[in-house]
Amino acid sequence: AVLAVFQALERTAEKQEKIAAAQMKEAFLQNFTHLTVAEMEQFMKVSAKAIQNGVYPVGNESQIEDSNWDFSNSFFFAGTVVSTIGYGTLRPKTAGGQIFCVFFALFGIPLNIVFLCSLTPFPPQEWEEENKTKGSGIKIKFLTLLFFLATGILVFLCLPSLFFQITEGWSYSEGIYFAFITLSTIGFGDYVVGKQPGRNYFSYYRTLVAIWILFGLAWIALLFNLLTTVLEDTEKIIVKDLHQIVKVSKDNEASQQRRCWPAQFIPEEELLPPCSGGDTQEMESLAADSEHTKNEKNDFFNSKTIATTYEN
Q: Domains along the chain? A: 1-119 (1.10.287.70), 124-255 (1.10.287.70)
| Per-residue CA distances from 175 to 125, 155, 164, 169 (Å) | 34, 13, 6, 9
Kindly provide the b/e burial profile for residues 79-98, where b requires at least 16 CB atoms within 10 angstroms of the residue's own CB. Answer: bbbbbebbbebbbbeeeebe
pLDDT bracket for residue 62 (50, 70, 90): very low
- Mention every residue, 6+ apart, whose C-beta is less than 8 A from residue 128: 137, 229
Average pLDDT of the chain is 76
Cα–Cα distance measured from residue 141 to residue 131, given in angstroms and rounded to the nearest whole number: 8
> pTM of the entire structure?
0.61
Q: Is the pLDDT of residue 246 over 90?
A: no
- Determine contact, residues 62/193, Cβ cutoff 8 Å: no
pLDDT band at 276 (very low <50, low <70, confident <90, very high): very low
pLDDT at 180 over 60: yes
Structural contact between residues 205 and 189, judged by C-beta atoms closer than 8 angstroms: no
pLDDT at 147 over 90: no
Give the C-alpha separation, 174 to 4, whole Å.
33
CB contact at 8 A, 161 and 172: yes
